[in-house]
């Protein structure tokens, strides 16, 4: 969430930044400022009353020492009345504090200065396109992946629906092996710098709040109400909370993690969108990369690293792709800047989002209370100074990759004229050395 002190000291700058997301986004700032002013007034009054209570306590002691019992009892009565007033003021201040936090949890992050302005998806900026030649695809590649899956026995859509309902998928045979191979390839490729974690799939409400998925996206998430647990929509959620309520040393940063998990999303807003095959599902596999950084410069370097790794994976899989800079009107609530990677799927003739690489500034870390101690400065005499205080960390994450759509783009791109699907070199070691996916 945003820093309340920033809202208090730079209200116009915060309003202007929020309104880049869309007109009216900043209206909540005035509510927060009004509540904050009232809370500070009550807190000041509480502190004044508390000071009076302490003063009266000292007077009571002196009066008793002087044998003035009646005067001491009168002061005690006055002190008790002020004590009750202090409790009332403290309760009102705490209530306002809760109201302010509740509002802050609904306020989106301020966009990076480098994020392009725009109202929505149509205003996103394509930064570059790699490996795409629209005239290079043959008719055999213009077959949608669900038909390829039927021909080669890769999926069981009907049985998945029978078991779990619509928009769930089941991989079989070569389909399951291909998915597993891609996941392992991604984990192996990133093991040089990212520590692998297998986090829980169900998490606490506080864990979802820490990334900004709650309260904003409650309708998109699966909630196990009996236990008040949530099925993760992405491994970003548990990975961000690895260091919740911790103070890290700056010398440790950045910390980098990766995780392969199932992810769960209701896709409540999918009405009217293409949900056939692997394009939009309630459950899907994903490899996530996450970094906890110390400042903006370090975080942006981490974001660039995640982007480069994801691009490298798509190149090695032989897929055409493009990198899209999301405009302010299309940014996720928690993100300050996001680069989407979209793979081209010739069978459906669509650019499919397979990775989203985001820098969240200190927005998520402030919600999760992840802080760090700055490194000591070395004085002229070579003596290190003790760092003062702590700072809020920055977080970065990105997919490497979201697999259903990557699988779809792969099958359509590498389908051969005889109906089989070529296995690229980087996947062969994970598939027993085979060079093609053939019918079962």
**Mean pLDDT (whole number) for 12-21:** 98
User: Using 50, 70 and 90 to split pLDDT, how confident is the model at 440?
Assistant: confident
| pLDDT of 272 above 70 | no
* Strand blocks (E) in 175-216: 195-196, 202-204
Element (H, E) at 262: strand 255-264
* DSSP 8-state symbol, 192: T
Dihedral (Cα; 162, 163, 164, 167), 10-degree rounding: -50
CATH for 313: 3.30.930.10
User: Using 50, 70 and 90 to split pLDDT, how confident is the model at 375?
Assistant: confident
For the purposes of burial, counting CB atoms within 10 Å of the CB of 139, is it exposed (0-12), middle (13-18) or buried (19 or more)? exposed
Closest by CA position to 238, among listed 255, 213, 274, 265? 213
| pLDDT of 269 above 80 | no
Query: Using one digit for the tens of pLDDT, what is the confidence trace for 87-110?
Result: 999 999 999 999 999 999 999 999
Q: Which of 104, 136, 168 is the last residue of a domain?
A: 104
Predicted confidence at residue 366, as pLDDT, reads 98
CA distances from 348 to 158, 243, 405 (A): 20, 41, 11
CA 307, CA 292: separation in Å to the nearest integer?
Answer: 16
* DSSP 8-state symbol, 134: G
Looking at the chain, the whole-number percentage of residues with pLDDT higher than 90 is 89
Which residue shows structure tokens 């090695």?
316
CB–CB of 153/174 below 8 Å? yes
Same domain, 66 and 205: no
User: Using 50, 70 and 90 to split pLDDT, how confident is the model at 407?
Assistant: very high
Which stretch of 137-141, 265-269, 352-356 has the lowest confidence by average pLDDT?
Answer: 265-269
User: Using 50, 70 and 90 to split pLDDT, how confident is the model at 381?
Assistant: confident
**Mean pLDDT (whole number) for 358-365:** 98
Same domain, 242 and 187: yes
Same domain, 125 and 227: yes
Predicted confidence at residue 363, as pLDDT, reads 98
Same domain, 342 and 431: yes
Coil, helix or strand for 197? Answer: coil
Phi, psi torsion values for 358, nearest 5 degrees: -125, 145
| pLDDT of 206 above 70 | yes
* Strand blocks (E) in 112-169: 125-130
DSSP per residue, 302-357? HHHHHHHHHHHHHHHTT--EEEEE--TTTS-TT-SEEEEEEEEETTTTEEEEEEEE
Question: Which residues, listed in sequence order, are joined to residue 321 by a DSSP beta bridge?
Answer: 130, 343
Domain that holds residue 19: 4-104
**Mean pLDDT (whole number) for 76-92:** 93
Q: Please, what is the average pLDDT of the chain?
A: 95
* Pairing label, strands 229-231, 321-325: unpaired
In a domain, 204, yes or no: yes
CB–CB of 401/313 below 8 Å? yes
240 Cβ contact partners less than 8 Å away, ≥ 6 residues apart:
207, 210, 211, 290, 364, 365, 368, 370, 395, 397
**Mean pLDDT (whole number) for 183-196:** 98
Predicted confidence at residue 275, as pLDDT, reads 83
Same domain, 127 and 100: no
CATH for 26: 1.10.287.40
Predicted confidence at residue 154, as pLDDT, reads 98
In a domain, 168, yes or no: yes
Element (H, E) at 259: strand 255-264
Same domain, 151 and 202: yes
Number of structural domains (the chain) is: 2
Coil, helix or strand for 358? Answer: strand
Predicted confidence at residue 421, as pLDDT, reads 98
Same domain, 318 and 356: yes
Q: Which of 104, 134, 163 is the last residue of a domain?
A: 104
**Mean pLDDT (whole number) for 188-217:** 97
Query: Using one digit for the tens of pLDDT, what is the confidence trace for 23-71?
Result: 999 999 999 999 999 999 999 999 999 999 889 888 988 888 888 888 8
* Pairing label, strands 337-345, 394-402: unpaired
In a domain, 110, yes or no: no
What is the pTM (predicted TM-score) of this model?
Answer: 0.92
Phi, psi torsion values for 261, nearest 5 degrees: -140, 165
Same domain, 215 and 67: no
CA 414, CA 436: separation in Å to the nearest integer?
Answer: 9
Predicted confidence at residue 209, as pLDDT, reads 97
| pLDDT of 281 above 90 | yes
In a domain, 115, yes or no: no
In a domain, 114, yes or no: no
Same domain, 73 and 207: no
In a domain, 113, yes or no: no
* Pairing label, strands 371-373, 247-249: parallel
Same domain, 258 and 382: yes
Q: Residues for the chain: how many in total?
A: 440
Which pair of tokens denotes residue 354? Answer: 């397979």
Predicted confidence at residue 271, as pLDDT, reads 59
Which residue shows structure tokens 């899907």?
284
Same domain, 98 and 131: no
Same domain, 137 and 93: no
């Amino acid at each position: 969430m945003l820093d309340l002190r920033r809202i208090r000291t730079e209200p116009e700058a915060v309003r202007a930044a929020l309104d880049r997301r869309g007109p009216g986004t900043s209206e909540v700032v005035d509510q927060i400022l009004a509540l904050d002013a009232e809370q500070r007034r009550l807190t000041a009054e509480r502190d004044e009353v508390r000071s009076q209570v302490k003063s009266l306590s000292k007077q009571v002691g002196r009066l008793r020492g002087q044998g003035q019992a009646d005067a001491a009892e009168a002061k005690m009565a006055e002190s008790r009345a002020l004590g009750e007033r202090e409790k009332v003021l403290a309760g009102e201040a705490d209530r306002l504090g809760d109201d302010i936090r509740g509002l802050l949890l609904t306020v989106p992050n301020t966009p990076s200065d480098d994020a392009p302005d725009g109202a929505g998806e149509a205003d996103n900026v394509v930064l570059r396109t790699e490996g795409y030649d629209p005239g290079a695809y043959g008719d055999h590649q213009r077959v949608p992946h669900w038909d390829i899956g039927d021909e080669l026995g890769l999926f069981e859509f009907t049985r998945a629906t029978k078991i779990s309902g619509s928009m769930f998928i089941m991989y079989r045979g070569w389909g399951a092996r291909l998915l597993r191979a891609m996941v392992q390839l991604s984990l192996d490729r990133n093991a040089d710098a990212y520590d692998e974690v297998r986090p829980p799939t169900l998490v606490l409400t506080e864990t979802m709040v820490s990334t900004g998925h709650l309260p904003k996206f409650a309708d998109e998430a699966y909630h196990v109400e009996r236990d008040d647990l949530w099925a993760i929509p992405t491994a970003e959620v548990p990975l961000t909370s690895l260091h919740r309520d911790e103070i890290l040393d700056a010398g440790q940063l950045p910390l980098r993690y990766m995780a392969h998990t199932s992810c769960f999303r209701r896709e409540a807003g999918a009405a009217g969108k293409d949900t056939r095959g692997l394009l939009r599902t309630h459950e899907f596999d994903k490899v996530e990369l996450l970094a906890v950084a110390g400042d903006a410069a370090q975080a942006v370097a981490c974001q660039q690293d995640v982007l480069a790794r994801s691009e490298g994976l798509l190149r090695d899989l032989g897929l055409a792709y493009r990198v899209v800079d999301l405009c302010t009107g299309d940014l996720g609530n928690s993100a300050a800047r996001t680069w989407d990677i979209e793979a081209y799927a010739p069978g459906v003739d669509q650019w499919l989002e397979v990775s989203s690489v985001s820098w969240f500034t200190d927005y998520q870390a402030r919600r999760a209370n992840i802080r760090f101690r700055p490194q000591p400065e070395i004085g002229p005499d070579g003596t290190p100074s003790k760092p003062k205080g702590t700072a809020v960390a920055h977080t970065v994450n990105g997919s490497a990759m979201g697999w259903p759509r990557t699988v779809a783009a792969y099958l359509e791109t590498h389908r051969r004229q005889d109906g089989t699907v070529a296995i690229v070199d980087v996947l062969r070691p994970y598939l027993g050395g085979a060079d093609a996916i053939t019918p079962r």
